[in-house]
Structure 1
Amino acid sequence: MKFVKWTFAAMWLFMGAACQDSEVDPNGPVTLTNSDFRNNTDGWIAEVTDYSTAQEEIIEFQSGHKALPEPLDVSKKSFMISGHNRSDDLFMFLKKKVTGLKPNQTYSIDFEVELASKYGDNSVGIGGSPGGSVYLKAGVLATEPKKVKEGDDYRLNIDKGNQATGSDAVPVLGNIGAGNDATQYKLIQRSTTQPITAKTNSAGELWLLVGTDSGFEGLTTLYYNKIKVVAEVKPGN
């Protein structure tokens, strides 16, 4: 009798699981990444571009898996990125490859980014505001975004726009201003106002990008705390 009861119980569990699976939309939202950098950089890679070859030794570019700065919780790790804009233009970015998507499929993709900034919206600096003139961008591409040399300058191999202007693939999420009177680090949140459209390559891969396009000629040091990216198959594709 006990065997029969266990058999029926197993059958009901199996049927329940099957019903749940049948209700899952294969084209529904899928999380491409949900990085909190608690233990590591989670596959993100830091790079910098938009500077001349003569400035290579003076842009002071640094990045790494670092503790959040005070007065935030210094026991919590983040992805720090820092650089000195020497010529009214510097693009510091993180990139990550994601796999396992449908090949040659068009997706609608949304970003949620949380980072630590200490730069005031109305702060004053050379070339522009340290907070109001440094623009956070996010993008999705089928090819790897990377630094390329063009003459005496280093540029990004894809169109990201310039400073306050983004592109279709790499829109502006906002600036890095942490409030009008900010002088200490605080966590700020930025997100896409409308989905980014991107098509996977033949291997079902995409590259994610998050970075800052600077119009402030000075040192900017930021700490990425969370990056979440969600994709959904675009209707009609």
Structure 2
Amino acid sequence: MKKWILWSSVAVIGCMAACKDENEKLNAIITVESQFQTTVEDWAGGFSGYSSVTNDTTLEKSFGRARLPAVLDSTKYGLRMQGYNRGDGMFMFLKKKVSGLAPGRDYKVTFDINLGTSYSASDPGTGGSPASSVYLKAGASPNEPTVKLLNKVYTISIDNGTQSEGGKEMNVLGNVANGLDKNIYKLVSRSNSDNPVSVRANSNGEIWLCVGSDSGFKDLTVLYYDKIKATIKE
């Protein structure tokens, strides 16, 4: 009898510990913050929203870790993205997988982004404004954002909306205006703290973060991501 009681007590204690761990996992707030000073920190870049008949070399697509412009702080690094919108509405995006969530659980994701941009809202541009016609978006999905060819257009697999409109998986955080009256690089902050993105973790307890710029400006856009912070909570 004593042996049975002992094993029962061990089982109860084990169950309580497991339940506690699971509850802590469900209620935990996970913060993913990247500043890119030594690596790209597992962020990968991609491009979509352009026609398959467009000469790829004319799009000037580029992604990688680079020093910030001198007017900001050239001793620091950021993620540099550039692309030339040839009239199809280019979407330049970053993606990163987050693991360790509760499978099938619903989460809210808030982004805080520091962006290096040189575009003034006072510049009317040609074929759209380089500042107010380029929209910064952020979101999350249980599925990895990939690019596929659909009706001769390279299209991102998640719902990111169209230019000034958000989608089911991405919200608009604002445009890329530098807040100045001249075209010079400045770090600006963008956030969706008033409109978190909802996402359900997949069966492996994973979600994919996605950040990008949706361009209605028919020319070259160059942006530096100085910091990307995502706060994930139930």
* TM-score, structure 2 normalization: 0.86
Give the secondary structure class of the aligned counterpart of 2:53: helix
Tell me if structure 2 keeps the 8 A contact 1:135–1:173: yes
Give the secondary structure class of the aligned counterpart of 1:58: helix
User: Matches of 1:201 and 1:135 in 2, distance apart?
Assistant: 28
Identity %: 40
**1:50 counterpart residue number:** 49
**1:221 counterpart residue number:** 222
* TM-score, structure 1 normalization: 0.85
User: Matches of 1:84 and 1:40 in 2, distance apart?
Assistant: 25
User: Matches of 1:36 and 1:165 in 2, distance apart?
Assistant: 28
Deviation at 1:25, TM superposition (A): 5.6
Deviation at 1:157, TM superposition (A): 1.2
**1:169 counterpart residue number:** 169
User: Matches of 2:232 and 2:151 in 1, distance apart?
Assistant: 37
User: Matches of 2:104 and 2:37 in 1, distance apart?
Assistant: 33
Deviation at 1:127, TM superposition (A): 2.2
Tell me if structure 1 keeps the 8 A contact 2:40–2:79: yes
Give the secondary structure class of the aligned counterpart of 1:131: coil
Tell me if structure 1 keeps the 8 A contact 2:161–2:170: yes
Gaps of 5+ in 2: 1-19
User: Matches of 1:157 and 1:209 in 2, distance apart?
Assistant: 11
Give the secondary structure class of the aligned counterpart of 1:159: coil
Equivalent runs, 1:195-234 vs 2, <5 Å: 195-233=196-234
User: Matches of 1:194 and 1:151 in 2, distance apart?
Assistant: 32
**1:146 counterpart residue number:** 146
Deviation at 1:151, TM superposition (A): 3.0
**2:122 counterpart residue number:** 122
Give the secondary structure class of the aligned counterpart of 2:59: coil
User: Matches of 1:182 and 1:119 in 2, distance apart?
Assistant: 8
RMSD (CA atoms): 1.6
User: Matches of 1:203 and 1:213 in 2, distance apart?
Assistant: 30
**Is 1:110 aligned to 2:96, yes or no?**
no
Deviations 1:21-72 (A, max 9, x none): 99x96504221x1000011100000000000112222110011110001211
Deviation at 1:213, TM superposition (A): 0.3
User: Matches of 1:173 and 1:42 in 2, distance apart?
Assistant: 22
User: Matches of 1:179 and 1:114 in 2, distance apart?
Assistant: 14
User: Matches of 2:151 and 2:80 in 1, distance apart?
Assistant: 30
Deviation at 1:88, TM superposition (A): 4.6
Deviations 1:108-140 (A, max 9, x none): 110001110000123112221100110000010
Deviations 1:183-225 (A, max 9, x none): 1111010000221110000000000000000010000000100
